[in-house]
Each structure stands twice: as C-alpha cells, then as structure tokens.
C-alpha cells in the first residue's frame, strides 16, 4: 500500500454501511484494549507496584525485555490477522495488559490532575486527527514511509536517553512523540479505509479490525503516555 503514487489525489471520503460497521468494530476492539490497560494499571498501582517497579523501572534488562515482548506480540498479531482473528484478539488483550504495567508506574508517579489532563489532551488530539484521516480528500499514503522513518529515529533516541537520561531530552522526545502519533492517527484511519476497500467481500474482516484496533490503540496510548509526561513536569507525587 505504500507503493501508491504519492502525488495522487483519490476520493477517500466515501463510507458505506459495511465500512461504518467495520470502523465500529475496530474502535470497539480498541476501546476494550484501552479499558484493559486502565484496569491493569490500577491493579498494578494498588497491589503490585513494588514488583513491577523492580521488573521494569529498576531493571534495564527487564525494560528491554518488555520492549522485545511487545514487538513479538505485534508481529504475532500481524501474522494471525486473517488466519486466526480470535488469536489476534487475544494477543491484543495481552498487549494491553503489558502496556498496563507501564501505566501503573505512571499512575504512581504523577498526580491525578496530570493524568486527567493527559487523557483529555490525548483524546482530543486523537479524535480530531481520526476525523481528519477518515474524511479528508487528501491522499495521506505518502506519509507512511516518512512517519516510519521518524518513528525509528524516535525509538533510537528513546533508547539512548534510557542509558544517558536527560530531562530536557525526555521532554523533547515527548513533544515529538505527540506530533508523530497525531499524524499516525490520521494516516492509520485513512489506511484502514483503503484496506477495507481491498479486502471487503473477499475475507472475514474481523481480523483486519483487530489489526486496525492495535494500530489505533498504539496511536492513542503513545499520545497519552507522552502527554502525561509533559503535564507531569512539576506535578509528580512526592
């Protein structure tokens, strides 16, 4: 799909009943994943904070291992998209639980006000960019390779900052994260419309909805994590 003409202008605004049902299913799966992450984060903060802190925050190897597990699960979801939608959904829930471990640590560090502001900001940016991606007439396909390159750079910068932490660099990374995943939100929503148009009537789109839910979940959760670190400056729990 990244082989489309970057200068082409296609009418990507059309949405029939089948596509609306597909997006409803996709966002339902995403919403469940967000709720699972929130619930896991609450449980971690209340009952398992010390253990999770020792596993992740206090252990560089544990942090890298957790990152590796996340990559593995995303790869497995991609492979199960059409072959086994039920397995793909189960893997999505497992991924949401893992993200909840990080959320639990953040809930313990930052104040409730910071968390609420971060959630409201993430929801606003995500919602606005999602609507843009769905209804814009502009072809966003050409953004794919650019965003992926920016994402790789962001990951490398984050890993370097993990070893040589700097507060200002961390804030800058959070700001860039907001920009990248705001753009990804628009891109992913339009891309899901394109993929639905390609596969509708040929395969069961349930697996495609799970795959799309993972993409949108990642967009939202990364926006939220970035905003909570931005709003949390000076508002951490003592």
**Joined tokens for residue 37:** 């992450």
Phi, psi of 203 (to 5 degrees): -140, 165
**Joined tokens for residue 144:** 């794919």
Higher local confidence (pLDDT), 228 or 162: 228
Say which residues have a Cβ less than 8 Å from residue 108's Cβ, sequence separation at least 6: 45, 49, 237
The model's pTM? 0.89
pLDDT, one tens digit per residue, over 59-98 is: 778 888 998 999 999 999 999 988 999 999 999 999 999 9
Q: Is the pLDDT at 106 greater than 70, yes or no?
A: yes
Say which residues have a Cβ less than 8 Å from residue 81's Cβ, sequence separation at least 6: 88, 207, 208, 210, 211
- Given a contact cutoff of 8 angstroms between Cβ atoms, the answer to whether 189 and 130 are in contact is yes
pLDDT at 236: 59
Cα distances from 198 to residues 123, 188, 191, in angstroms, run: 29, 15, 11
pLDDT at 34: 97
Residue 182, class by beta-carbon neighbours within 10 Å (0-12 exposed, 13-18 middle, 19+ buried)?
A: buried
pLDDT at 5: 38
pLDDT at 235: 59
pLDDT, one tens digit per residue, over 3-34 is: 333 333 444 455 678 899 999 999 999 999 99
pLDDT, one tens digit per residue, over 166-215 is: 889 999 999 999 999 999 999 999 999 998 988 877 777 899 999 999 99
Residue 15: in which H helix or E strand, if any? none
SS (H, E, C) 121-145: HHHHHHHHHHHHHHHCCCCCCCHHH
Q: Is the pLDDT at 54 greater than 90, yes or no?
A: no
Least confident of 54-63, 111-120, 163-172: 54-63
Task: Name which of 217, 35, 14 is nearest 122 in CA terms.
Answer: 217
Q: How confident is the model at residue 234 (pLDDT cuts 50, 70, 90)?
A: low
């Amino acid at each position: 799909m990244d082989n489309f003409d970057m200068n082409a202008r296609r009418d990507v605004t059309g949405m029939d009943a089948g596509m609306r049902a597909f997006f409803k299913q996709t966002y339902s799966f995403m919403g469940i994943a967000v709720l699972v992450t929130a619930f896991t984060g609450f449980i971690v903060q209340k009952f398992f904070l010390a253990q999770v802190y020792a596993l992740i925050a206090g252990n560089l190897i544990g942090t890298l291992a957790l990152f590796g597990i996340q990559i593995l699960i995303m790869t497995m979801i991609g492979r199960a998209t059409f072959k086994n939608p039920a397995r793909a959904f189960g893997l999505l829930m497992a991924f949401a639980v893992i993200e909840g471990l990080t959320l639990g640590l953040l809930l313990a560090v930052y104040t409730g006000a910071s968390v609420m502001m971060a959630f409201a900001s993430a929801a606003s940016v995500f919602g606005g960019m999602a609507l843009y991606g769905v209804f814009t007439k502009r072809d966003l396909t050409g953004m794919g390779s650019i965003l992926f390159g920016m994402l790789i750079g962001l990951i490398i910068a984050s890993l370097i900052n993990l070893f040589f932490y700097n507060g200002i660099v961390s804030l800058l990374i959070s700001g860039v994260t907001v920009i990248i995943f705001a753009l990804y939100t628009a891109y992913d929503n339009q891309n899901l419309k394109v993929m639905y148009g390609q596969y509708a009537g040929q395969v069961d789109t349930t697996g495609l909805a799970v795959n799309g839910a993972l993409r949108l979940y990642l967009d939202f959760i990364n926006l939220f994590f970035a905003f909570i670190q931005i709003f949390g400056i000076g508002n951490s729990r003592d």
